[in-house]
A and B are shown apart, each in its own frame.
Chain A
Amino acid sequence: MSLLKAEGLGIQFGGLKAVDEFNFEMNQNQLYGLIGPNGAGKTTVFNLLTGVYKPTSGQIIFNGKSLLKMTPTQITQLGIARTFQNIRLFKKMSVIDNVKVGLHHSQNYSLLSSILHLPSYFKGEEAMHEMAMSLLRVFDLEKYADVKAGNLPYGKQRKLEIARALATSPKLLLLDEPAAGMNPIETEELMETIKIVREKFSIAILLIEHDMKLVMGICEKIAVLNFGTVLAFGTPDEIKNNPDVIAAYLGNEE
């Protein structure tokens, strides 16, 4: 059974078909890329998968369940987590609190015990702190735990967003342009991080990226989106040599 399956997925904004007949399938622990020219509908696909937008046609099956009637919160709790193209950390909160927000639904201690500060609260809080710290350690962020998220350097904010998403214990992680605005060294680091994340957490990752070196370097398969439909799908080498893709996306001179 596939982890994620989108069938004939589409969404219309007024007369504009932002995504149309989007078919896609992914299995556990796979690392796929989603590329395409600006405005092709890549982020819209992410918004459809996470329930931010409701599709006007088609079906999304995740882990055997249809996501169509679910709220973003429920979808996150089912196991899809994401990062954002324009970083959306809780900037006024500390780095560790950002991760703890992600851990929110994984901890089960009741409202009452937290208000009354019962022992189970302290246990839960301690366990939560440990989990958050170990996540920060994976991303080398543990020494920034008490810094306000908004004060972190850009590259580290991107990493923190991935850490926060992983805190929701996802089965599928959606990364929306994780390398945007990074310098080549930071991008290199990020590639390593993504590889580590995949091995350590054994999750599936789907990433949108414009940095071809990154996409071609780490993705097993790549889907190319153009005008809201899948133009091509295949291994990096197949994509590189596909004449349609070259025409639509990479330009003719290549």
Chain B
Amino acid sequence: MEFLTQIINGLSTGGMYALVAIGYTMVYGIAKMINFAHGEIIMVGAYLAYVMTSIVKVPIIVSVLVAIAGCALLGVVTEKVAYKPLRNSGSLAVLITAIGVSYLLQNLFLILFGSAARTFPQFMPSGTVSLFGAHITYVALLSLVLTFICTGLLLLFINKTKLGKAMRAVSEDRGAAELMGINVNTTISLTFAIGSGLGAIAGIIYGMSYSLINPYLGAMLGIKAFIAAVLGGIGSIQGAMVGGLIIGVAEAFTISYISSAFSDAVVFGILIFILLVKPAGLFGQNMREKV
């Protein structure tokens, strides 16, 4: 049952990628920018949970909530301080700023915690369950379940609530939304808060799955999740989810059937392939340039 085990392992890593990819895709949909600091937000989420549990020693549920709230706040503050002043300048300026924010956060955590990896506290008992003969760790199962729950709730929020409608309106036509009385700044802040909060959950899942965290963890995770978002079609939440799961499974298969050394190559190969064959991504729509 090696095959099934690999699929489920892949899906659970993919779930983590999906949670991060949703952050990229939501921010792109509303603010029309790639937030390259998003990976670092996930790193901050993992560290917040680590600090709260291992140093401050509060109950697990409290540290999870602190991590989510802290990341949401960090996302909102980053947008207000770094991106909002550049909203009307070129996309290159915002992109470079985002890379700057990413290095700022990474180095800040290097100063605070050093480059040595820290042991992430045990949030749930280690162990496996057997499903159709495949052995799955509790963490993997949790990661998969959380991904589906979060994506489901998010889609419900976007499609059924007033604020969700405001978000869709802003993403389609910011100017027209403003003239319908929608506060665009609040809507953009909300988007960053939700995306970063989901990032915190991904950071905690990362800590639980790999049990070691270091200030660089967001870099590779962020890039892979970004590829997942592009694969799914950037701007589409369902796409980010499917893209994340595909990347996770592809990675798991490469590691177990070819070599772990090739896993990154395969992931980046997927990016090149999708950009050549279907640049808009699986769920993306081809946008015509306005003339």
Contacts and interface: CB of A to CB of B under 8 A. Distances in A.
A168 B179 CA distance: 9
B165 interface: yes
Given A90-B169, A93-B168, A114-B161, A84 B176 contact: yes
Contact of B166 (A72, A89, A101): A101
Given A73-B184, A82-B179, A104 B162 contact: yes
B157 interface: yes
B181 A100 contact: no
Contacts of B175: 52, 72, 88
A40 B244 CA distance: 52
B162 to A, nearest CB: 6
Q: How large is the interface on B (under 10, 10 to 19, 20 to 34, 35 or more residues)?
A: 20 to 34
Nearest to A78: B181
B162 A128 contact: yes
Interface in A78-107: 81-82, 84, 88-93, 97, 100-102, 104-105, 107
A77 interface: yes
Interface string B30-57: 0000000000000000000000000000
A158 interface: no
A72 B163 CA distance: 19
Given A52-B175, A90-B168, A90-B169, A107 B162 contact: yes
A185 interface: no
B177 A101 contact: yes
A212 B165 CA distance: 38
Contact of A73 (B161, B165, B168, B183): B183
A76 interface: yes
B179 A50 contact: yes
B172 to A, nearest CB: 5
Interface string B154-166: 0001000111011
B289 interface: no
Interchain residue pairs A-B with the least CB separation, the first 9: A76-B181, A105-B181, A88-B176, A72-B178, A101-B169, A90-B172, A114-B161, A102-B180, A168-B181
Interface of B: 157, 161-163, 165-166, 168-169, 172-173, 175-184
5 contacts: A72-B175, A90-B176, A102-B181, A124-B162, A168-B181
